[in-house]
Structure 1
Amino acid sequence: MPRIKIPYHKNFWEIEIEDNNLSGVLESKAHHFKTTMSQEEIIKKALQNPIGSPSIETLVKGKKNMVIITSDHTRPVPSKITLPILLKTIREANPNIDIKILIATGFHRPTTREEMIDKFGEEIVKNENVINHMSQDQACLMKVGILPSGGELWLNRLAMETELLIAEGFIEPHFFAGFSGGRKSILPGIAGAQTVLANHCSAFIASEHARTGVLEENPIHRDMLYAAEKAKLAFILNVVIDGDKKIINAFSGHSQLAHQEGCEFVRSLSKVTKIKGDIVITSNGGYPLDQNIYQAVKGMTAAEACCKEGAVIIMIAACNDGHGGESFYRNMEEAVSPKEVLEKVLKVPMEKTAPDQWEFQILARILNQYKVIMVTDMCDPQMIKNMHMEQADTFEEALVRAYAIKGKDAKVTVIPDGVSVILE
């Protein structure tokens, strides 16, 4: 009987499944990818070999000011490694340039000072000008165009008024944008609330092209590319990480071309053949992505792709920060059933998209078909129950319950890190 490591918060849990029940363990090859280079060497090599773009040193020469977009507290971008190298490289080429670091909060809450220190390190927080993007503060935004979908494009004023705009981030499979990274630093990263809502409308979320690993004909991706172009995003540094959040590759250069190359690398590691299960076990890859129920929906979509009819999903996620979105929680909690949520949301036109609608739409889609047992000892059980899911303190408790529903001979598929795989 194999012991399978599942990320949980800042550690791992080891779980066991009987051999006669276990159908398969589906993992990204990124978790076992080996490189002889240090993380710092990988970043420096990427910066020295930009894709489809002049070097960052060339771009900053003669500039008086610039903005570096970085990810917020919900993303495992290893900024303690990437940002110091990026800042040093820039300042060696242009010692006097004024640099602002803009946190791409998207539609999330602002990143706290404590979270900034945890993510960037105390030296950067103390010595650099770090600013939270505020998607609902109209004074901080500028209207810069109309999205291909028809929604208004509002972006952060600091980013639009700077001489040079670049971004750092990471690339992983994304449950409706296809992949993270690249253009996502702009939309939703530094976009106005009304723009995020338009881009995440119910029709787009329901599209068969708005799925993990899909960029072709993806309407959400199309809007994001347009936003990055209008923002004049001049350069990106995007990393790929393994299960321990260590950098295994990096791509720098043109915001679209470097991102495309990075996505193909991720696809080559993340593609996994589906194995359908009566019970599907997954996680959100541990901290920081498993810190709330909102984010945990991502991992659930991986399990959804491997579910037999009427399957049970066991979702292992700490959710120590609670639900992660008031609108997300209220729309689930106030509904009689997930079906009611789904039927209601599919009737909402683009211009009436509600905050967090995309997340409760996808959660309702999953819950309308499958039972979900959330495994956490760090979240209010009643909150989880109010959102039409079950809660268990331990994995063993959840598995006993799942077998009681599906039978002792139920076939079990395990996806240790649901946000790292593309299931085909």
Structure 2
Amino acid sequence: MTKIKIPYSKQFLEIEIPDNNLVAILESKAHAYKVEQTQQEIVSKALDNPIGSAKLEDLVKSVKNLVLITSDHTRPVPSKVTMPILLSRIRSANPKIKITILIATGFHRPTTRQEMIDKFGAEIVENEVIINHVSEDYNSVVRVGTLPSGGELWLNKIAMEAELLISEGFIEPHFFAGFSGGRKSVLPGVASAKTVMANHCSEFIASEYARSGVIVNNPIHRDMIYAAKQAKLAFILNVVIDSNKKVINAFAGDSELAHIDGCKFVMELASVKAVKADIVVSTNGGYPLDQNIYQSVKGMTAAEATCREGGVIIMVSACNDGHGGQSFYDNIANASGPRAVLDRVLKVGRNDTVPDQWEFQILARILDTHTVILVTDMCDPEMIVKMHMKHAATFEEALQMAFEIKGKNAKITVIPDGVSVVVK
């Protein structure tokens, strides 16, 4: 038996795979990447050496009103490390500056006060102005143009009224935007629901270029770059993290150039060669990304890239927050099956995209050719079954179910952290 540690919620599980079944363990090299500097030193070095930009301190010197976009509760950005450094540097250069922290919720629910404390620490929450972006509040957004795709670009007024707009985030493979980070803090981060839905239309999601690790010719990325430029996103700090959510590298500077350099670094670490298998085990990297089924689709796409057609994907994800989106749930659960979802969604026009359409489209794509067993003891099994997946309370139970479907000699590939790899 081969023992493998995989993340689950805020802990790790040790699973066992029979040696004669196991064909590969696909892991990002980020998890074994060794650094000698502290997280703070890595971040500070990046800020001292910005890419394609003046230093942050020089940018803020004469600015009265700065807006700092940050990620929400669903993203493992180590803001307890990054935010104090950013705030300190900004105020050291300009003590009188007004700073607003704008949480880029995208299409997600607002971040709660407790989640803010967990993310930033109590001191920042108690002493800083922190505002949630609410994508469906059309009084809080302003139209600033038309996306290359033709969709209307509506962005948060607070961001657009800033004298200087900067952002923090992290870079990892993203299952349809290519990579997270950079321009994503604007679109979908602080965009209106209408804009997010136009950008995430079924046509673009179905594109062969809307895949993990791909930004060239990616229509979704193209829209996002345009949105960031229209918002005048002047400076970014993006970090790269390991499986323990610790910073192993950081990139700061111009919102496009620094992001590109960061993506290159991540690609070197994250790219793994597909090893086809009958059964593929994946996760969503543990907390905070495995809080719901919606987010867990990301880890499933990594498994999809290396699972044989008709194979079984064992997705180990806590999903303690439920399905993660009512429209997402309804459109899967109320359909006769995944093929019916795909047939319907591919007929939906760009400007008629419905909430969560991109997520249920991708899940339906996976379910159309694979059996998915969701492993969790923190989520309602009935909900999972209604969404055309199978449920297992333990990994051992899931593996037994998978063997019953594919046979005792089935070959198994394990991806301990599905959101950290680009499977080629």
Correspondence 1:118-133 to 2 at 5 A: 118-133=118-133
Correspondence 1:18-417 to 2 at 5 A: 18-417=18-417
Partner secondary structure for residue 102 of structure 1: strand
Summarize deviations over 1:315-364 as a string: whole Å, max 9, x none: 00000000000000000110010110011000000010000000000000
Counterpart amino acid of 1:127? N
Task: Give unpaired runs (5+ residues) of structure 2.
Answer: none
How many residue pairs end up in the alignment? 424
Separation in structure 2 between the aligned mates of residue 62 and residue 235 of structure 1, nearest angstrom = 15
Partner secondary structure for residue 139 of structure 1: coil
Summarize deviations over 1:232-255 as a string: whole Å, max 9, x none: 000000000000000000000000
Q: Could you tell me how far 1:198 is from its partner in structure 2? A: 0.1
Counterpart amino acid of 1:100? T
Counterpart amino acid of 2:355? P
Separation in structure 2 between the aligned mates of residue 136 and residue 262 of structure 1, nearest angstrom = 31
Separation in structure 2 between the aligned mates of residue 2 and residue 307 of structure 1, nearest angstrom = 20
Partner secondary structure for residue 214 of structure 1: coil
In angstroms, what is the RMSD of aligned CA positions?
A: 0.4
Task: Give unpaired runs (5+ residues) of structure 1.
Answer: none
Q: Could you tell me how far 1:139 is from its partner in structure 2? A: 0.8
Partner secondary structure for residue 3 of structure 1: strand
Counterpart amino acid of 1:331? N
Separation in structure 2 between the aligned mates of residue 370 and residue 31 of structure 1, nearest angstrom = 28
Counterpart amino acid of 1:191? A
Q: Could you tell me how far 1:408 is from its partner in structure 2? A: 0.4
Summarize deviations over 1:240-283 as a string: whole Å, max 9, x none: 00000000000000000000000000000001000011000000
Q: TM-score, normalised by structure 1?
A: 1.00
Q: Could you tell me how far 1:375 is from its partner in structure 2? A: 0.1
Separation in structure 2 between the aligned mates of residue 117 and residue 276 of structure 1, nearest angstrom = 42
Structure 2 partner of 1:421? 421
Partner secondary structure for residue 138 of structure 1: coil
Separation in structure 2 between the aligned mates of residue 98 and residue 287 of structure 1, nearest angstrom = 33
Counterpart amino acid of 1:343? D
Partner secondary structure for residue 69 of structure 1: strand
Q: Could you tell me how far 1:2 is from its partner in structure 2? A: 2.0
Separation in structure 2 between the aligned mates of residue 193 and residue 25 of structure 1, nearest angstrom = 38
Separation in structure 1 between the aligned mates of residue 165 and residue 326 of structure 2, nearest angstrom = 32
Counterpart amino acid of 2:51? I
Partner secondary structure for residue 31 of structure 1: helix
Counterpart amino acid of 2:292? N
Q: Could you tell me how far 1:51 is from its partner in structure 2? A: 0.1
Counterpart amino acid of 1:337? G
Moved over 3 A (4+): none
Counterpart amino acid of 1:52? G
Separation in structure 1 between the aligned mates of residue 408 and residue 57 of structure 2, nearest angstrom = 62
Partner secondary structure for residue 142 of structure 2: strand
Separation in structure 2 between the aligned mates of residue 366 and residue 171 of structure 1, nearest angstrom = 24
Q: Could you tell me how far 1:309 is from its partner in structure 2? A: 1.9
Partner secondary structure for residue 198 of structure 1: helix
Structure 2 partner of 1:3? 3
Partner secondary structure for residue 414 of structure 1: strand
Partner secondary structure for residue 410 of structure 1: coil
Separation in structure 2 between the aligned mates of residue 193 and residue 318 of structure 1, nearest angstrom = 27
Partner secondary structure for residue 409 of structure 1: coil
Q: Could you tell me how far 1:171 is from its partner in structure 2? A: 0.1
Counterpart amino acid of 2:236? I
Partner secondary structure for residue 368 of structure 1: helix
Separation in structure 1 between the aligned mates of residue 28 and residue 53 of structure 2, nearest angstrom = 30
Q: TM-score, normalised by structure 2?
A: 1.00
Counterpart amino acid of 1:54? A
Summarize deviations over 1:130-164 as a string: whole Å, max 9, x none: 00001111110010000000000000000000100
Counterpart amino acid of 1:212? S
Partner secondary structure for residue 248 of structure 1: strand
Summarize deviations over 1:37-88 as a string: whole Å, max 9, x none: 0000001101000000000000001111100000000000000110000000
Separation in structure 2 between the aligned mates of residue 149 and residue 188 of structure 1, nearest angstrom = 14
Separation in structure 2 between the aligned mates of residue 197 and residue 117 of structure 1, nearest angstrom = 30
Partner secondary structure for residue 68 of structure 1: strand
Partner secondary structure for residue 377 of structure 1: coil
Counterpart amino acid of 1:42? I
Separation in structure 2 between the aligned mates of residue 351 and residue 147 of structure 1, nearest angstrom = 12
